[in-house]
Structure 1
Amino acid sequence: MSEVIRTYFFDNEEDRLLEARNIHFWRALAGHVQADRSVPSDATVLDIGCHRGGLLELLHERFKPARLVGIEPLVSARRVADRRLARFAAYTQLFGAEGWSRIPDSGVDLVVGHEVLQYISDLSLLMGNIRRVIRPGGFVYLALGCHTENPLWATWKHELEALGHGVYDHSPLQIMAAGARAGLAPSVRPLRDTGWVYHDPSVSGSFAYPSVAALLEHQFRHKLLFRFECHT
């Protein structure tokens, strides 16, 4: 996950639509965080791959943490996030890919990440960084549908590579094992397993679905939420 100097992740319009597509997943992630009661008062929240700051904004609205931290290698997106989050009372820090070294040991209460693991080559390094910064008793929630057990990933991977993105194959069990090796207790569940699926097939772009069956399979079966607990 190296520093990227490019204007957009996809393009201007697609980046704008990306947030509208992700909001339902972000709300589901926040719901699991709330159900686990895993955000203490005066919390520090870290979003890995925070893009334009939408998930951090949602978490601030839901939990009112004292400090927001984002790691985002895409320079333009980081600038948007900085402007967006500046209006909050929470202290905000946004870093590029090198930002891990600037986060203190045991300095974070909650770590989140949405669809970011496919851009990270070294899961062991990532989990080691997470383990260092998460406080004892803290939680990590990483949502991912772009993994090797999802039949759609093979197609989506080629689309991302054609756009110039470096992406990597990870299986769910590999992700869980990497966390366990770093000293984090892993668990997993579907991110969503009920409710309405919002999708507009008239909007062209990346990450298309060949059928409604595939859409439902993705959202209710293959879109996973990995949870890691730091016990000590």
Structure 2
Amino acid sequence: MVNQLINTWTREPLEESSMTADHTWIWREMISAIDEKDLSKQRVLDFGCNQGGFLRLLFDQRPFAAGVGIDLAQKAVDIAEARKEGRPIDYSAVADLVELGETFDLAFSHEVIYLIEDLARHAAQIASVLKPGGNYYAVTCCHKDSPLWASWRPKIQAFSNINVPDHGVEDISSAFRRGGFDVAVSRFLASAFIPLEGPSEYFPSDVERLECYANWKLLFRMTRS
């Protein structure tokens, strides 16, 4: 993930706009999997919020005291702000978490951590805004331990406006352990109903789609010491 603002994440606006619909079922599973059930007094951060859909869904299912979504892509943040409809959420285009000047009880990212070049810096920044004992949940199936990543990475790089690193599970976990976090992980979609849509650019078959979501879509839980 770069350290300066960009206009959009991808060179294909329709691809970016479709992410909310494509990811909603995953976000529901993500919400059901977390340890925290009552968020009514919590301040929540969504790192890499894109067009804001996750925080809107989270608030509708488990209302929180306040939410902040940040992203590098200014156009995505503008869309997120326009869609919040009175929810207690602020969306901002910022390149550095320190710019927020705020602390949070809970933090999330979905398919963002794999785009972050400097994982040690990311861990340090999350630590700087997350209260002691707070959890950072980071979800990704884009990592080099997945059998599909070798074919996915060049495809993602082809339409991405930033460089796509090549991290594995150990790269992510070790960066956060060194950054003062207790790290755990779950194959959190193993029991979910997974939409089967036939062969696609990313999934040669429904069996490979099932295998990916059941075994390689990972939910990291980083607990700040």
TM normalised by structure 1 equals: 0.88
Match of 2:74 in 1: 75
1:192 match: secondary structure = coil
Is residue 2:155 matched to residue 1:156?
Answer: no
Structure 1, 175-184 or 17-26: larger mean CA deviation: 17-26
For the residue of structure 1 that corresponds to 2:211, the secondary structure is helix
User: Deviations for 1:170-214, whole angstroms, at most 9, x for unmatched residues?
Assistant: 111111111111111000011211132114347x6xx52012221
Tell me the residue number matched to 1:183.
180
Q: Which amino acid aligns with 2:23?
A: N
Determine the C-alpha separation between the residues in 2 that align with 1:174 and 1:53.
27
User: What pairs with 1:10-21 in structure 2 (closer than 5 Å)?
Assistant: 11-21=12-22
Aligned length: 223
Structure 1 SS opposite 2:18? helix
Are the structure 2 counterparts of residues 66 and 95 from structure 1 closer, same or farther at C-alpha, using a change threshold of 3 Å?
farther
| 1:29 has 2:30 as partner | yes
Distance 1:201 1:8, change over 3 A: farther
Q: Counterpart of 2:131?
A: 135
Q: Which residue matches 1:230? A: 224
Q: How far apart are the structure 1 equivalents of 2:112 and 2:172?
A: 12
| Partner residue in 2 for 1:114 | 110
> Residue 11 and residue 72 in structure 1: after superposition, are their counterparts in 2 closer, same or farther (change >3 A)?
same
Residue 168 of structure 2 aligns with an amino acid whose one-letter code is S
Q: 1:95 corresponds to which residue? A: 93
Identity of aligned residues (%): 30
Give distance in 1, aligned partners of 2:129 and 2:97.
11
Residues 66 and 91 in structure 1, CA contact (< 8 A), matched pair in contact too? no
> Which residue of the other structure, out of 150, 164, 167, is the alignment partner of 1:167?
164
**Structure 2 unaligned regions, length at least 5:** none
**TM-fit CA distance, 1:103:** 3.1
Q: Which residue of 2 aligns with 1:60?
A: 59
Q: Give the equivalent residue in structure 2 for 1:5.
A: 6
Contact 1:148 1:171 survives alignment (8 Å):
yes
Deviation, 1:77, is 0.5
1:201–1:187: structure 2 CA closer, same or farther, 3 Å change rule? Answer: same
Map residues 43-58 of structure 1 onto 2, 5 A cutoff: 43-58=42-57
Using the size of structure 2 for normalisation, the TM-score is 0.91
Provide closer, same or farther for how the CA distance between residues 37 and 222 of structure 1 changes in structure 2, counting only shifts above 3 A. Answer: same
Aligned alpha-carbon RMSD (Å): 1.9
Distance 2:203 2:187 in 1: 18
Q: CA deviation at 1:10?
A: 5.0
Dislocated runs of 4+, deviation >3 Å: 3-8
Distance 2:11 2:106 in 1: 28
